[in-house]
Amino acid sequence: MANDMLTNAQMRDIEALLHPYTNAATHRQVGAHLIERGHGCHVWDDSGKRYIEGMAGLWCASLGFGDEELIEAAREQLGKLPYYHLFGGRTHEPAIELAEKIKELYPQPMARVFYCSSGSEANDTQVKLIWYMMNALGKPQKKKIISRRKAYHGVTLVAASMTGLPLNHGSFDLPFDFVKHTTTPHYWREARDGETEEQFSARLAADLDTLIEAEGPDTVAAFISEPVMGAGGVIVPPKGYFEAIAPVLRKHDVLWIDDEVICGFGRTGNWFGAETLNMQPTSASMAKQLTGSYVPLSAVAINQQMADVIEAESARHPALGHGFTYGGHPLGCAVGVKAIEIYQKRDILRHVRQIAPVFQARLRQYADHPLVGEARGVGLMGALELSPDRKSAATFKAPGKVGARLMSELLKHGVILRAIGDSLAFCPPMIITEDGVEEIFAPMEAALDATYSWAKAEGHM
């Protein structure tokens, strides 16, 4: 039975839509939250209430809403060439220009860019190109992919397999067997008593080494990592982590996929998270902030070795048997070129580096609140992980309830944030000002206190 307090739009929504990442039964009771418009870092719902977007949508609306230059770039491209594809050797200027920009900005040398529409498609493409390459190299057994528990790489079958979250596996018959998961680099939660960050990092690198040895190095093709785990709860790797991982991958001749879908294009204060976290990938996936998310577009950048093998292999096939109708859509590419131009001319990276210390300091003010286990983050992304006991990094008996309560408390105060289990995630548009940061945090103390009282009364603590 639907709730009779629902609006007409909510009733229509319930009957017409199946919502992603939504509990369908609860949704029928509470109804959808209808967002009508956005401007800058704010959005308005159908009741006229204004919210500050503390998550940039889904970690993606980097330039906020209503950026006239992005809108104009889209309008212009729509008028000139609203659609074309890159199959069979066709091309268009925005696709070339954007690929050149990506190659120029990525911290490791990359040779070619392959376009898709979503982060998931980009990560599936990574695996397909790597398998194609391994077959070409006469190593058909070298196909396994190693990811990490709590990683998020998307929801298509292979990307969801690489994702390391139970929600994406249960009832979907995933993960596929060729995907293996290793330890999450979360020092606060996973480190042993007395272990330093460096010792913890060395232990995780040893875990990876043991896993590769156990699987057989000649069966392991690649390791995939986000620089900072996003949807797994904004987990910033500890000191020395990627520095310890790199030699293990080299030793076993394992490729390294960098998933920059969240971190790419300034989020951590550098163009790419690989730079901030000192990774040495062989290929990279990017999406979201690539276009400020005004238009869907994703990209896979591959290094010279991969590009050379793929080119040499074309002697054996009529064509590369992979590609999406919308991959390299001219609208996405034109808006991507404009987004990068804006990042450069408005010096958005410098702005991120200036505002990040303010944001991170504000976040850490809540580290001692009795409901908070850990306050963490880097650049303009962060999380408050809630815990009934900070010292033991304990989790709640009923996971997710306290986090959801805090999120809805903040929503009442006009702040949109996202609870990932019991971690409250923050990822505001990169154009956020100090006043905007203040607006996000203004109701935090009161919301934490109210949630804490509720959690105690409900027996969660």
Q: Please identify, among the stretches 70-78, 147-155, 313-321, 365-373, the one whose residues bind ligand PMP according to the rule CB under 6 A.
A: 147-155
Among 118, 182, 270, 293, binds ligand PMP (CB under 6 A): 118
Nearest 5°: CA angle at 50, between 55 and 350? 45
Question: Which segment (40-48, 98-106, 225-233, 429-437) binds ligand PMP by CB under 6 A?
Answer: 225-233
The nearest distance, CB 299 to ligand PMP, in angstroms, is 12
Binding residue for ligand PMP, selected from 65, 114, 131, 152, defined by CB under 6 A: 152
Of 62, 77, 120, 201, the residue at the interface with ligand PMP (CB under 6 A) is 120
- The Cα–Cα gap between 319 and 181 comes to 33
240 to 279, contacts with ligand PMP by CB under 6 A? 259, 261-262
Do 100 and 110 contact (CB within 8 A), yes or no? Answer: no
Per CB under 6 A, does 157 bind ligand PMP?
A: no
Closest CA to 430 of 338, 355, 332: 355
CB closer to ligand PMP out of 123 and 201: 123
Query: Does 57 contact ligand PMP by CB under 6 A?
Result: no
**Position 226 contacts ligand PMP (CB under 6 A):** yes
Task: Report if residue 231 touches ligand PMP, rule: CB under 6 A.
Answer: yes
Contact call for residue 154 and ligand PMP (CB under 6 A)? yes
Question: Footprint of ligand PMP on residues 16-35 (CB under 6 A)?
Answer: none
How many other β-carbons are positioned within 10 Å of the β-carbon of residue 84?
15
The DSSP result for 204-220, as a single string, is HHHHHHHHHHHH-GGGE
Contact yes or no for 125/114 (Cβ under 8 A): yes
Helix (H, G, I), strand (E, B) or coil at 233: coil
CB closest to ligand PMP, residue no: 119
3-state DSSP assignment of residue 141? coil
3-state secondary structure of 181: strand
Q: Which stretch binds ligand PMP (CB under 6 A): 38-46, 115-123, 397-405, 428-436?
A: 115-123
The residue among 119 and 436 lying less far from ligand PMP, judged by its C-beta, is 119
Compute the distance between CA of residue 259 and CA of residue 264 in angstroms, rounded to an integer: 8
Query: Contact between 119 and ligand PMP (CB under 6 A)?
Result: yes
Neighbour-count burial for 359-391, b at 16+ CB within 10 Å, e otherwise: bbebbbebeebebbbbbbbbbbbbbbbbbbebe
* Residue 79 to residue 81: CA distance in whole angstroms: 6
Question: Binding-site residue total for ligand PMP (CB under 6 A)?
Answer: 15
Interacting span for ligand PMP (CB under 6 A) from 152-160, 378-386, 392-400, 417-425: 152-160
Q: What 3-state class would DSSP assign to 64?
A: coil
Residue from 85, 101, 142, 153 binding ligand PMP (CB under 6 A): 153
Q: Interface residues with ligand PMP (CB under 6 A)?
A: 58, 118-120, 123, 152-154, 226, 230-231, 259, 261-262, 287
